[in-house]
Amino acid sequence: MLNMILKLCVVVLVLTGGVLVNAASTVWDPAANDIYPPSQANWSDWHNWTQKVVPGDFKVVFKVSGAADCIVNNTQTATQLVQGDNGPGGMICIKNGGNLTAGTTPVWTSIGYNNTAKVLVEQGGVFSVKEHLWIGFTAGAIGTLQIDGGVVNVAQMIGLGWSGGTGYINLNDGVLNLKDIHATDSIKGDSVIDIELGVIIIDGNKKTIIDNYIQASRITAYDGTGKVYCDYNATNTGKTTVWAEPAEIVFGTGDINADNFIDILDLQLFIGQWLSVAPGSEADLTKDQKVNMDDLHILAGNWHRNEYSKTLTGKIMCGYQGWFNTPTDGAGRGWVHWGSGGKFEPDYCTIDIWPDMSEYDSDEKYDTGFQNADGNIAQVFSSYNEKTVLRHFQWMQEYGIDGVFLQRFATETTPGSSGRSHRDQVMLHCRKGGNQYNRAWAMMYDISGLATGGTQRVIDDWKYLVDTFNVGQDPEDLAYLHHNGKPVIALWGIGFKDRAYTLDECLAMVNFFKNDPVYGGMTVMLGVPSYWRTLSGDCVSDPKVHEIILAADIVSPWAVGRYSSVSSSGVPTASGIDNYTNNVTAPDKIWCDSNSKEYLPVVFPGFSWQNLKGEKFDHIPRLGGRFLWHQIYKSINDAGVTMIYQAMFDEVDEGTAIFKCTSTPPVGPTPFLPIGNATYPPYDISDANLPSDHYLWLVGQATRMLTGEIPVTEAMPTR
C-alpha cells in the first residue's frame, strides 16, 4: 500500500498553511484574499496565490484581470516568472529592500508574454533574471520594465518585441546590467529603451550594436529630447556603458527681430513689450507668459554675443584649406596634400614648409617617411582630426585673427565620395571651433576644375549642406559670418581664363545664392582674377564678368604671385607691391565704391612650391614678414580698404601658410627639400631665427591696425 502511494506521488507535496499543494505553478490572484485595486497585495502573503503558498520553487504566472499590484519588499524567488500569459499581467513593484530573482531553474522570464504587463523597480530594489528576459514577447503583447533607481540584472539575452510584441524599458534612474544584446533582435518593432539618469552596463564590446540602435532611435534619451552616449572599456573595464544627458533648457536668446544678432534693435522691441499683459512670444525669453527682469537678464547676458560674426568690415579673414589627410586618420584617403603617389617620404613630398608639431597632442601626430635631426620620426597633422582644427581656431583667438573662409572644392562634392565626407567633417570641426573660440567662418566654394555645366554641382551641394547641416541658416551657429544682415557665401574662380564652365552658368549660380527662396538670401562674395576690372591679364575679356560682379556683393581679386618681394636681381624691394596698389588695388576700390560693392583684397606672406611644381624654392621670399606687412599697410593706407583676405592659414603646399611652422624641418634620410637648398630658412635668413608663431602674431597686429587699435604704420612692428 505504501509503495502504491509513493508511485502516485509524482509531484512534490508541500504542507503550507494547512494545505497540501502541487509545486509546479501558482497564479497571482489576491482577489481570493479579498484584496482589490487600488489596494496593493504582498508577494510574501501566501493567501494571494492560487496554490496558497509563497512561491519559491514555483513557476509564477500573472494573468488574472483586475488583480491588485504585487509588492515585493523582501527577498523572493521563482523558478520561472511569466507575466501576462493569456491574461493581463498587471504590475509587480519591487520596493526598497525588495529582491526578486526569477528563472532559478534557470529558464526564461517574460514581462508581457502575450498580453500587457509591467515591472517597476524602485530605489533600493533588485530584480535578477537568471536566463533570458523577454519584454513584450509575442504579437499583441506590450511589456514595460521601469527602473526608478533600482538594479536589474539579466544573466543571458534581453529581447524587446523579440517575437512580434512591443517592449519598453524606461531607465529613469538606476542600473541595468546585461550579459548580452543582439545586433538586430533585442529591440524590434516599435520597442524602445529610453534612458534618463540611469546607466546600462553590458559585458564586452557592444559599442557598434548600441550605436546602431541609437541611430535607429531604438535607444533614446529623455523621451527623445536628450542625447545618448556610449563607450567601451572607458567607464567600465571590459564593458560597454550607455548613458544619457538631457537637452539643454531652451530659452529665447534675445534675438527678437530674428536677424541672428542681439543688439539695440532687439532692445527696442523688448522695451515695447515690457510688463505687457499679453507679451509676444519673441520677447518672452523664459516662456512663462511674462516679459520681466528674468527675460531682461537673458537679453543682457547675450548682448552682442555674436558681434564677432556680424560683419566682414574691419576683419582679416584667412583662407583655410583643411585638406590634409594621413593613412591612419580614419578618413580612408591615405596621404592627401602631403605627398604624391600615395606616399609621403623623400621624392614623394609636395610641401615646402613643415608644420611646427611641438604643441600637438600625441593623438594628433602622424608618422611620416622623414626623420628629424635628432633621429626621431618626423610627424604631421590631419585636418580630419577635430582636435587639430579646434587647436587652429584657438590659435586664431589667441593671436586676434578674425576667422576663416573654409575652402570647399566643387570637384570633391560627389555624393558618397571620401572627398565630400572629409569636407563635411572639416566643416563641422570649423563650425565647432568658430563657436567655441568666437571666430567667424564662412563657406567658400572653389569651382576650379569644373566641366561645362559643372556649377550645378555647387548648387546641389549647397542644398545638401543646408538640408543636412543647416549651414548658414542654423540659429545655433553663432559663428557663421554675416554681412549686411545676411550670411556670406564665397564663390572662387569666376572670370579666369581657360575655364570650361561658362560665365552664364556663373551668373545663374550667383542669382541662385542671392534669390532662391529656400537656399538663397546670401551675401555673395566672388573670388575673381587680379585684372577683372580691366578685363585683361588673367581675366577673360568679356564684359559679362562685370555683370556677374554687379549681381554679387563683394569682390576679392586673387593676388598671390602677381608681384614679388625682390627685384629681378634678387634684391628686396617694395616696388612690386607699390605698383600693384597704385594700378590695381586702389582703382579697384574706387570702382567698387562707385558701384556699391565691397572690396576684399588678398595679401600673402610669400610663395614657394619647389616640391609641388619643381620651381625655384623661395620663389617669393617672405623677408621676415616685411613683405606681408607692406601689402597690408598699402592696402589700408593707400587704397583705404576696410577688410582683407589673408592667404592662407594652413597652405604649406604653396608656401603661404601663416600658422606655426618650424625652421628645423626633417633632414633625413635625405633632405626635406631637394639638393640646392643647403639651409632651410622659411623663407630667407631673416626668418630662420623667428619663433614659429611669428606670422600669426603679425596678422593679429595687422588686424589691430585695420580696426584702428594701433596706428597705421609702414614699419613692421616688433614684439
| Each residue's pLDDT tens digit, 297-334 | 888 888 877 889 999 999 999 999 999 999 999 999 99
- The answer to pTM > 0.85 is no
In this structure, the number of other CB atoms found within 10 A of the CB of residue 33 comes to: 16
Confidence (pLDDT) at 14? 31
Q: What is the pLDDT of residues 582-600, one digit of tens each?
A: 999 999 999 999 999 999 9
* Secondary structure class of 300 (helix, strand, coil): helix
Whether the pLDDT of residue 617 is over 80: the answer is no
b/e 477-516 (16+ beta carbons within 10 angstroms → b): bbbbbbbeebbbbbbbbbbbeebebebebbbebbebbbee
Confidence of residue 679 (pLDDT cuts 50, 70, 90): very low
Cβ count near 281 (within 10 Å): 11
Pick the closest to residue 57 from 93, 21, 91, 85 (CA basis): 21
Q: What's the rounded mean pLDDT across residues 636-648?
A: 98
Cα–Cα distance, 553 to 548 (Å, whole number)? 10
Q: Is 273 helix (H, G, I), strand (E, B) or coil?
A: coil
The pLDDT score that the predictor gives to residue 18 is 28
292 burial via Cβ count (<10 Å: 0-12, 13-18, 19+): middle
* C-alpha to C-alpha distance for 125 and 102, rounded to whole angstroms: 14
Which is nearest to 122 in space by CA: 158, 178, 160, 71?
Answer: 71
pLDDT of residue 295: 87
562 close to 601: Cβ distance less than 8 angstroms: no
Tell me the C-alpha to C-alpha distance, in Å, between residue 522 and each of 224, 259, 339, 512. Answer: 33, 13, 37, 9
Give the mean pLDDT of 622-637.
95
Give the pLDDT score at 280: 73
State the pLDDT at residue 674: 43
Say which residue, 9 or 422, is predicted with more confidence.
422
- β partners of residue 405: 319, 442
Give the pLDDT band of residue 8 (cuts 50, 70, 90): very low
Percentage of residues of the chain with pLDDT beyond 90? 77
For position 255, what pLDDT does the model report? Answer: 86
Query: Percent of the chain scored above 70 by pLDDT?
Result: 94
**Residue 671 pLDDT > 50, yes or no?**
yes
Identify the pLDDT of residue 569: 75
Residue 398 — φ and ψ, nearest 5°?
-60, -40
Instruction: Provide φ and ψ at 31, rounded to 5°.
Output: -60, -30
Bridge-based pairing state of the strands 199-203 and 239-245? antiparallel
Residue 8's φ and ψ, nearest 5 degrees, are: -75, -25
Contacts of 673 (CB under 8 A, 6+ apart): 352, 610, 611, 617, 665, 680
Tell me the C-alpha distance between 148 and 198, whole Å. 8
Q: Among 105-114, 390-399, 681-690, 710-719, which stretch is predicted with the lowest mean pLDDT?
A: 681-690
Tell me what pLDDT residue 277 has.
75
Q: Mapping DSSP to helix (H, G, I), strand (E, B) and coil, where does residue 694 land?
A: helix
Please name the residues in contact with 36: beta carbons below 8 A apart, sequence gap of 6 or more: 30, 66, 68
571 pLDDT more than 60: yes
- pLDDT of 687 reads 64
Q: What is the per-residue pLDDT for 673?
A: 52
**Mean of the per-residue pLDDT values of the chain:** 90
SS (H, E, C) 166-229: EEEEEEEEEEEEEEEECCCCCECCCCEEEECCCEEEEECCCHHHHHHHHHCCCEEECCCCCEEE
Report phi then psi at 433, rounded to 5: -65, -40
pLDDT surpasses 50 at 500: yes
- Say which DSSP state 374 is in: T
The stretch 168-186 carries a mean pLDDT of 95
Read off the C-alpha cell for 320.
583655410
CA distance to 253, 292, 299, 588, per residue, from 270 (Å)? 12, 10, 9, 42
pLDDT band of residue 286 (cuts 50, 70, 90) is confident
pLDDT at residue number 3 = 41
| Cβ-contact 129, 159 below 8 angstroms | no
- Which among 365, 366, 362 has a CA at the least distance from the CA of 327? 366
In the predicted structure, residue 461 carries a pLDDT above the cut 90: yes
Query: Are the C-beta atoms of residues 152 and 124 closer than 8 Å to each other?
Result: no
Q: What mean pLDDT do residues 474-489 have?
A: 94
Q: Quote the CA–CA distance of 657 and 646 in Å, as a whole number.
A: 10
The strand ranges marked E within 381-473 are: 403-409, 440-446
Position 104 confidence tier, pLDDT thresholds 50, 70, 90: confident
CB-based contact 632:603 (threshold 8 Å): yes
Is 560's pLDDT higher than 60?
Answer: yes
Of the candidates 125, 137, 117, 122, the residue with the CA atom closest to the CA atom of residue 101: 125
Q: What is the pLDDT of residue 614?
A: 77
> Which pLDDT score, from 0 to 100, does residue 563 have?
95
Distance CA 125, CA 132 (A): 20
74 vs 104, more confident: 74
pLDDT of amino acid 683: 41
- Please tell me the predicted confidence (pLDDT) of residue 686: 58
Mean pLDDT of 618-627: 87
CB 60 within 8 A of CB 28: yes
Alpha-carbon Rg of the chain, whole angstroms? 35
Whether residue 622 has pLDDT greater than 70: yes
CATH numbers and ranges of domains, the chain: 2-245 (no CATH), 316-707 (3.20.20.80)
Mean pLDDT of 2-22: 33
Query: Nearest Cα to 122, choosing from 54, 67, 40, 62?
Result: 40
The pLDDT value recorded for residue 17 is 32
DSSP state string for 411-434? GG--TT-HHHHHHHHHHHHHHHHH
Q: Is the pLDDT of residue 676 over 60?
A: no
The answer to which of 212-216, 332-336, 567-571, 682-686 has the lowest mean pLDDT is 682-686
Residues β-bridged to residue 362? none
Q: What angle do CA 265, 269, 273 make, to 5 degrees?
A: 160
Give the residue-averaged pLDDT of 499-527: 97
Q: What is the mean predicted confidence (pLDDT) over 667-690?
A: 54
The Cα–Cα gap between 157 and 182 comes to: 7
Element (H, E) at 111: strand 109-111
d(CA 425, CA 50): 63
| pLDDT value at residue 225 | 85
Q: For residue 154, what pLDDT band results from cuts at 50, 70 and 90?
A: very high
Q: Is residue 159 within 8 Å of residue 151, measured between CB atoms?
A: no
Contact between 221 and 196 (Cβ < 8 Å) = yes
Specify the range with the lowest mean pLDDT, choosing from 6-20, 353-367, 474-488, 597-611: 6-20
> Is the predicted pLDDT of residue 681 greater than 50, yes or no?
no
Task: Quote the cell numbers at residue 226.
Answer: 536628450
The answer to whether residues 32 and 64 touch, using CB atoms and an 8 Å cutoff, is no
pLDDT of residue 410 exceeding 90, the answer is yes
Evaluate whether 384 touches 423 at the Cβ level (below 8 Å): no
Q: What is the mean pLDDT of residues 528-539?
A: 97
Does 248 have pLDDT greater than 60? yes
pLDDT in tens, 251-280: 778 888 877 788 888 899 898 888 877 777
Please report, for residues 159, 209, 648, 658, the alpha-carbon distance to residue 212 in angstroms, rounded to integers and kept in the order given.
16, 5, 40, 42
